[in-house]
Amino acid sequence: MSQQAVEKALKAVLISQGTDIPHTHNLLKLVEMLPQQYSSLPCLISATVLTDYAVSGRYPVENAPVDDNRYQRMIKLADDVITWA
């Protein structure tokens, strides 16, 4: 859900700027589409690690369980991007 939240927030910002958004779940690609003054923000760059969860979070696959620390970090990454957006 963190990946999806970041994806939607980035796409909302891109749409608000009149940018045509691609059909992608790749957060780095979306960040790179932002104007230069935003695309290098640490909170946005950090959140791109969530791309790995774009598919694994939607479809059942065998993944290692996420421990509480990682879970909290993913929530914080998403919260930071949503706050920025």
Within the chain, how many helices (H) and strands (E) appear?
6, 0
Q: Name the residue range of residue 50's domain.
A: 2-84
Tokens (6 digits) for 33? 């589409």
What pTM did the predictor assign? 0.86
pLDDT tens profile 15-74: 999 999 999 999 999 999 999 899 889 999 999 999 988 766 566 666 667 789 989 999
| Reported confidence tier of residue 77, pLDDT bands at 50, 70, 90 | very high
- Could you give the number of structural domains in the chain? 1
pLDDT of residue 64: 65
